[in-house]
Amino acid sequence: MQPLILKIFVFSLGMCVGSFLNVCIHRLPRSLSLIHPRSMCPGCGARIAFYDNIPVLSYLWLRGRCRHCQAAISSRYPVVELAAGLFAVAIFIRYGLAWEAFCLYVLVAALLVITFIDIDHQIIPDVITYPGIVLGFLSSFVTGHITYKDSLMGIFLGGGILLLVASAYYYLTKKEGMGGGDVKLLAMIGAFLGWKGAVFTIFVGSAVGTVLGIAVALRTQGGRKTVVPFGPFLSLGALLYLFHGPEIVDWYMALMR
């Protein structure tokens, strides 16, 4: 295959994965099966035919509406599918066709699902993070991008940092500030990316989360309390490290000299 044809194939395959990720985003928080029943319209309950379930294209063809009841379909569906396809190509370009690329794409897929679930429901499902921690650790034996010792350090250091922060916050305020899901998420990220990736992720996630949290607080009126989930910021930090982490660290260290 020519490189361009291969990239198109990888992109298309990634969008198909994105279609399944949409199922996970919708069903996991509701404790529904990912297999049964088949995809259906949340408005009228009509089964979605295979030709109406083609990633992105079906959404455009139907103009973002159900064929049967004309209810609006969330634009999140094509966004997730496009993101999954673009990330698949980006990982392929950076890592090629290798076990490392496959394992890291699993991490990316998990982060996409976690991000949108956390935004909607402020939860991070254990059914993603626990298997992710195990898979991340096992991948260190076959990919070679980090050692198993580095993976173990990432798990305990990543999860330990957030657990310490959460415990300290509760001790000082007697309030829950950070959920256990965030702790397990960073442990999963550390399992895949090692301790350096975990530290980078918590640094970037905290910095971006703090800035956005302040912005939200300034815009909030009437004393209302707005919950800002931390999972998306950790996911952002992990993705940034996955593609540009070493370069950013080298640039930052150069500034400190």
Structural domain of 32: 1-97
Both 219 and 93 in one domain: the answer is no
CA angle 127, 120, 190 (to 5 degrees): 45
CA angle 118, 121, 125 (to 5 degrees): 60
What parts of the chain have a pLDDT lower than 50? none
Structure tokens at 138: 């096992």
Q: What is the pLDDT of residue 77?
A: 94
Both 254 and 142 in one domain: the answer is yes
Both 85 and 119 in one domain: the answer is no
Closest Cα to residue 235, out of 81, 130, 128, 115? Answer: 115
User: Domain ends where: 78, 97, 116?
Assistant: 97
Q: Which amino acid is at 78?
A: P
Both 72 and 154 in one domain: the answer is no
The residue with tokens 């980006």 is 90
Both 126 and 137 in one domain: the answer is yes
Closest Cα to residue 179, out of 245, 228, 241? Answer: 228
User: Domain ends where: 97, 131, 163?
Assistant: 97
User: Domain ends where: 72, 97, 122?
Assistant: 97
Both 82 and 170 in one domain: the answer is no
Both 138 and 17 in one domain: the answer is no
The CA distance from 210 to 46, in Å, is 43
Q: What is the pLDDT of residue 225?
A: 62
Q: What is the pLDDT of residue 168?
A: 75
What is the SS3 assignment for 40? strand
Please report the DSSP string for 160-214 in residue order. HHHHHHHHHHHHHHSS--S-HHHHHHHHHHHHHHHHHHHHHHHHHHHHHHHHHHH
Q: What is the pTM of this model?
A: 0.89
Both 89 and 165 in one domain: the answer is no
Are the C-beta atoms of residues 118 and 150 closer than 8 Å to each other? no
Are the C-beta atoms of residues 23 and 32 closer than 8 Å to each other? no
Are the C-beta atoms of residues 27 and 34 closer than 8 Å to each other? yes
The CA distance from 190 to 137, in Å, is 9
Rg (CA), the chain: 20
The CA distance from 38 to 27, in Å, is 12
How many domains does the chain contain in total?
2
Start-to-end C-alpha separation, the chain: 47
- The residues pairing with 40 across neighbouring beta strands, listed in sequence order, are 47
Q: What is the pLDDT of residue 91?
A: 94
Q: What is the pLDDT of residue 140?
A: 93
Both 131 and 218 in one domain: the answer is yes
Both 104 and 201 in one domain: the answer is yes
Q: What is the pLDDT of residue 249?
A: 77
Q: What is the pLDDT of residue 241?
A: 94
In angstroms, how far is CA 20 from the centroid of its own chain?
14
Both 243 and 144 in one domain: the answer is yes
Q: What is the pLDDT of residue 143?
A: 83
Closest Cα to residue 144, out of 187, 95, 108, 110? Answer: 95
Both 123 and 219 in one domain: the answer is yes
